[in-house]
Amino acid sequence: MAHCHCSMCRKFHGSAFATYGEAKKDQFRWLAGEDLLVNYVAGNKTTRQFCKLCGSSLTFKAASGQEDCVEFALGTLDSAIDLRPDAHIYVGSKANWVNLCDGLPQHIEGRNSPTKA
């Protein structure tokens, strides 16, 4: 679970960042509305799914991501979440009006990139 600050996530969610969780595909299922999902494939070959009825941002798949996992927007869940985000990613492109002061690691790009000094 992480907060993503890339410009695409900011624009897709209309916010300072998007918070995503991850689940193994075999442990993830839609309870309703799967037939309402629409894919948007960006220029960088990432795929984002949203609901064609309400427009909610729902899932994200990197162009060369893990095929056995689903990344999903945590803001769309109705239930409480016991876990907490453990990092900020893509802070190299975060909104200049955001001040991060929660003590989480701040990766310039993805999780495997250097952290901000």
Mean pLDDT, residues 98-110 taken together: 93
Mean pLDDT, residues 82-97 taken together: 94
19-28 tens-digit pLDDT? 999 999 999 9
* Percentage of residues of the chain with pLDDT beyond 90: 67
Listed by start position, the domains of the chain span 15-80
Is the pLDDT at 64 greater than 80, yes or no? no
Residues 6 or more apart from 107 whose CB is under 8 A from it? 87, 88, 89, 90, 91, 113, 114, 115, 116
Kindly report the CATH number that applies to the domain delimited by 15-80. 2.170.150.70
